[in-house]
């Protein structure tokens, strides 16, 4: 009986399939990513620390470039952005997708060519538009009817700006209600079914300073099947054909957005990028041939699938509490650095690192240090029974939508971000300190 449990446990603990490809086991229960021991990172940079494997990010960019050689691949900055990330993405030849003046300015001041940037947003502020026009972004994606006159006025009669239109194709897909964006009951885009998209398009075509280059859609996030993309693509090609028939305009670009799903725990499905690329291309060729349309250039905008699997969150255990049937393992971070479990009910697979344990595993719930009962990082996971304060826990697949959604809750401070690559570690973003909070707090 005991033997069975231990071997099952050992098998589960040893499954590194969702970890960065560079992950190596070290003696005495250690784990290295990018050639650097995670326990050493914790000692040197303190915890919580977010470790980003530069090689994994670059490798994922290359996988996209190889799978989609004829498309423009734009990294969706909102998944995670820092100056180093901007450089890696630029050096790998990707474009960038941003949704605020902040993301845009950070990218451009870090050397990203503005013409390779696309600006999104369902509610663009005056500052967003001002920055976009001043810096010369490649495309602005129009998300609602009121933006048309606003952007045209901001561009001015002598000006010129390339724009796209975000269309809601009426496809429901994605890992959670809060991240499904392909249907008419959510805030993004212009509807295909009620004619809102068609109406907006004719108005844009009537603005000489706006050049409509193509259509955009983004149907959701954490999508693991190819089919919804094909359905969306068919509808977008249908709309492109109608635009040609009505206005005599052949649009040259089709942006199918991002949303490519990844595995957060061993055994979970991920979107097959090779299959996505092959079937999108086939469907595009078939649809365009049937409608006698020139084949538009394809754009895609992956965020999560570029950076998610490249990140590992490293926490130190602060307390272990046994209450009734439950074991709570509390760490020195939580919902302020990772709000995703509370927002979307996402599940993670944390792992003890930095020491070997021969104790059998038991079911425990990893919680954060914040003052909310909902501050749960990983419910009902298997961890060694002898886990104790001072231990290190690492959570793989922590690179996307964690730090970018981090908050100042409880003034704990946002964690440090450390890049690991070919055996060395360097600080990318320093830990937020009390001085940072104090310096913003200027009233009394």
Show which residues are catalytic.
371
Which is nearer to ligand PLP, 258 or 341 (by Cβ)? 258
Which is nearer to ligand PLP, 41 or 163 (by Cβ)? 163
C-alpha gyration radius of the chain: 23
- Which of 196, 257, 334, 354 is in the footprint of ligand PLP by CB under 6 A? 257
Closest approach of ligand PLP to the CB of residue 113, in Å:
19
Total residues found in the chain within this entry: 444
Q: Is the dihedral of CA 354, 358, 359, 362 positive or negative?
A: positive
Question: Where does this chain touch ligand PLP (CB under 6 A) — which range of 75-83, 143-151, 326-334, 427-435?
Answer: 75-83
Residue 90 is inside which H or E element, if any? helix 83-91
Is the CB of residue 113 less than 8 Å from the CB of residue 95? no
Which is nearer to ligand PLP, 60 or 414 (by Cβ)? 60
**According to the binding rule CB under 6 A, does residue 180 interact with ligand PLP?**
no
**According to the binding rule CB under 6 A, does residue 375 interact with ligand PLP?**
no
> Taking each helix axis from N to C terminus, what angle separates 146-155 and 196-205, rounded to the nearest 10 degrees?
20
Closest approach of ligand PLP to the CB of residue 341, in Å:
17
Which is nearer to ligand PLP, 341 or 384 (by Cβ)? 341
Residue 352 is inside which H or E element, if any? strand 351-353
Q: Which residues partner with 168 through β-bridges?
A: 191
**According to the binding rule CB under 6 A, does residue 116 interact with ligand PLP?**
no
Closest approach of ligand PLP to the CB of residue 151, in Å:
17
- Which of 42, 49, 51, 76 is in the footprint of ligand PLP by CB under 6 A? 76
Residue corresponding to tokens 């700006």:
161
**Smallest Cα–Cα separation from 421: which of 55, 165, 174, 156?**
55
Is the CB of residue 29 less than 8 Å from the CB of residue 394? no
Closest approach of ligand PLP to the CB of residue 420, in Å:
22
- Which of 60, 124, 139, 260 is in the footprint of ligand PLP by CB under 6 A? 260
Closest approach of ligand PLP to the CB of residue 258, in Å:
3
Which phi and psi angles does 32 have, rounded to 5°?
A: -120, 140
Q: Which residues partner with 401 through β-bridges?
A: none
Binding string to ligand PLP for residues 18 to 47, with x set by CB under 6 A, is what? ------------------------------
Going by their DSSP bridges, the two strands 392-396 and 311-323 should be labelled as: antiparallel
Give the integer Cα–Cα distance in Å for 132 and 114. 9
**According to the binding rule CB under 6 A, does residue 120 interact with ligand PLP?**
yes
Binding string to ligand PLP for residues 215 to 234, with x set by CB under 6 A, is what? ---x--x-------------
The 8-class DSSP code of residue 93 comes to T
- Which of 59, 258, 368, 413 is in the footprint of ligand PLP by CB under 6 A? 258
Residue 362 is inside which H or E element, if any? strand 361-367
Binding string to ligand PLP for residues 276 to 315, with x set by CB under 6 A, is what? -------------------------xxxxx----------
| Count of residues engaged in binding ligand PLP, rule: CB under 6 A | 16
The 8-class DSSP code of residue 186 comes to S
Give the integer Cα–Cα distance in Å for 422 and 135. 35
**According to the binding rule CB under 6 A, does residue 79 interact with ligand PLP?**
yes
List Cβ neighbours of 271 (8 Å cut-off, separation of 6 or more).
223, 224, 225, 226, 260, 261, 262, 305
- Which of 59, 61, 73, 78 is in the footprint of ligand PLP by CB under 6 A? 78
Please give the residue ranges that form the binding site for ligand PLP (CB under 6 A).
Answer: 76, 78-79, 97, 120, 218, 221, 257-260, 301-305
């Amino acid at each position: 009986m005991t033997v069975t449990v231990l071997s099952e446990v050992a098998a589960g603990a040893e499954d590194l399939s969702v970890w960065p490809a560079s992950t190596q086991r070290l003696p005495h229960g250690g784990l290295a990513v990018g050639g650097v021991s995670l326990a050493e990172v914790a000692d040197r940079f303190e915890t919580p620390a977010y470790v980003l494997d530069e090689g994994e990010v670059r490798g994922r960019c290359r996988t996209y470039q190889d799978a989609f050689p004829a498309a423009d691949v734009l990294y969706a900055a909102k998944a995670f952005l820092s100056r180093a990330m901007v450089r890696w993405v630029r050096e790998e030849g990707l474009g960038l997708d941003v949704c605020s003046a902040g993301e845009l300015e950070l990218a451009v001041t870090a050397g990203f060519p503005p013409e390779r940037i696309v600006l999104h947003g369902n509610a663009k502020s005056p500052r967003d538009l001002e920055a976009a026009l001043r810096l010369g972004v490649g495309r602005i994606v129009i998300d609602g009817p009121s933006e048309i006159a606003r952007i045209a006025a901001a561009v001015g009669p002598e000006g010129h700006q390339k724009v796209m239109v975000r269309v809601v194709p009426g496809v429901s897909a994605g890992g959670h209600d809060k991240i499904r964006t392909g249907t008419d009951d959510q805030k993004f885009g212009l509807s295909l079914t009620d004619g809102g998209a068609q109406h907006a398009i004719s108005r844009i075509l009537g603005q000489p300073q706006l050049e409509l280059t193509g259509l955009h859609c983004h149907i959701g996030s954490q999508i693991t099947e190819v089919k919804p993309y094909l359905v969306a693509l068919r509808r977008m090609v249908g709309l492109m054909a109608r635009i040609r028939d009505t206005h005599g305009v052949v649009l040259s670009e089709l942006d199918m957005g991002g949303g490519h799903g990844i595995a957060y725990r061993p055994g979970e499905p991920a979107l097959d990028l090779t299959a996505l690329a092959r079937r999108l291309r086939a469907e595009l060729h078939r649809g365009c041939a049937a409608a006698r349309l020139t084949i538009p250039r394809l754009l895609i905008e992956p965020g999560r699938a570029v950076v998610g699997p490249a990140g590992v969150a490293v926490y130190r255990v602060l307390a272990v509490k046994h209450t009734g049937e439950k074991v709570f393992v509390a760490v020195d971070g939580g919902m302020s650095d990772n709000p995703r479990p509370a927002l979307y009910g996402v599940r993670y697979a944390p792992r003890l690192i930095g020491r070997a344990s021969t104790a059998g595993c038991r079911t425990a719930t990893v919680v954060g240090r914040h003052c909310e009962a909902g501050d749960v990082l990983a419910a009902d996971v298997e961890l060694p029974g002898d886990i104790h304060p001072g231990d290190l826990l690492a959570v793989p697949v922590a690179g996307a939508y964690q730090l970018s959604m981090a908050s100042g809750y409880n003034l704990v401070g946002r964690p440090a971000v450390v890049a690991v690559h070919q055996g060395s570690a360097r600080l990318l973003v320093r830990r937020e300190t009390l001085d940072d909070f104090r310096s913003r707090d200027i009233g009394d």
